[in-house]
Amino acid sequence: MRAEREGEEHPLTLLLSPHQRQQEEAEEDGNLIKQTWLESKRLWQVAAPSIFSRIALFSVTVITQSFAGHLSGLDLAAISIVNTVIIAITFGFMLGMASALETLCGQAYGAKQYHMLGIYLQHSWVVLFLCSLLLLPLFVLATPLLKLMGQSEAVVERTGLVALWSIPFHLSFPFQLTLQRFLQSQLKMGVIAWVCGGVLALHVFVSWFFVYKLGIGIVGTTLTIGFAWWASVVAFFAYTVSGGCSETWTGFSIQAFFGLWDFFKLSLASGVMLLLENFYYRVLVIVSGYFNNTEIAVDALSICMTIYAWESMIPLGFLAATGYVTGCKSLWT
């Protein structure tokens, strides 16, 4: 009605009295407010667990660095370089490649080809795992690469040790990131939130036990973050195969090995894009290694960047929820 009044009024509206027109406008405004409230409520039903799961999972890294800081400044500097530089490279690339699964699952779910979600998930496992193996030299050769960049000798040696023990953490990305997007495409946000919350609580206990009770030191601290991520992989996979996704997971299939090249081409561009986006400002950590007091410089900058990344989980979770609600609008009706 209001749109018509802006141009040319509908003939029937001319028959209404001023009071009736005001009443009709009030009803339209009321419907708009009601619809906005309903859409906001639906959005937050997805956004709240999405934000929580991202904060909880990122907090695993924050807690790990906190425990490393209780060991020594050198240990904190080493694990900070690994997490904010080496892991940032591999995580950004894997995350970008996993977004291809997000697109394919959304299309298949919208077309009601539910069985294809499981096939696409297995596609992503094969492709991303092979790519993760190709990135292993970054961890194995961390020490000579950092020496080539002219970093402090003590920091380089400790960083190389931490990088080697971070390989289990790195190898969890192909499975954790894809399983999470597989569940997100079906709006299983509550499941993801519960798993991430449980993993966070478990990680706090395991980190305390490894550092203060077993006294394993920086090696144990590094292993705890990999343990936490693999725990989430096991939980997501157990939920998927135990009937939580009965329509979309029909078991392992030989079809997972067909069409891998097409999936790789689709995911490669987004992987490189997110890699560059996630890495460019983290070069500052490497640059800080050229200062006189390397440990303090690296520690301070990495803490600031961690806080920045921590708070960025809120808008990222909200934006992800917005995309899923928009793409899966039919699920609400």
Instruction: Give pLDDT tens digits for 103-122.
Output: 788 778 777 788 888 888 99
- Looking at residue 225, what is its pLDDT? 92
Provide the 8-state DSSP code for 257: G
Convert 101-139 to b/e letters by CB count within 10 Å (16 or more is b): bbbbbbebbeeeebebbbbbbbbbbebbeebbeebeebb
pLDDT in tens, 213-238: 887 888 888 999 999 999 999 999 99
Quick: pLDDT tens for 167-210: 999 999 999 999 998 988 887 888 999 999 999 999 999 988 88
Confidence of residue 26 (pLDDT cuts 50, 70, 90): low
Query: Cα(303)–Cα(169) distance, rounded to whole angstroms?
Result: 20
| Backbone Cα Rg of the chain | 25
What is the rounded distance in angstroms from the CA atom of residue 178 to the CA atom of residue 180? 5
- Residue 184's contacts (CB-CB under 8 Å, 6 or more residues apart) are 50, 102, 192, 320, 324
> In the chain, what is the straight-line distance between the N-terminal and C-terminal CA atoms, in Å?
26
> What is the predicted pLDDT for the residue at 197?
93
User: Quick one: pLDDT at residue 214?
Assistant: 82
- pLDDT, greater one: 197 or 35: 197
CA 56 to chain centre: 11
Least confident of 42-46, 78-82, 123-127, 322-326: 322-326
Q: Which one is predicted more confidently, 18 or 316?
A: 316
Q: Where are the beta strands (DSSP E) in 73-218?
A: none
Assess contact for 99 and 69: CB atoms under 8 A: no
Per-residue pLDDT at 332: 44
Lowest mean pLDDT among 19-33, 83-97, 219-233, 259-273: 19-33
Name the most confidently modeled range: 71-75, 134-138, 153-157, 317-321: 134-138
Q: Is the pLDDT of residue 333 over 60?
A: no
Say which range, 216-225, 256-265, 267-276, 281-290, has the weakest mean pLDDT: 281-290
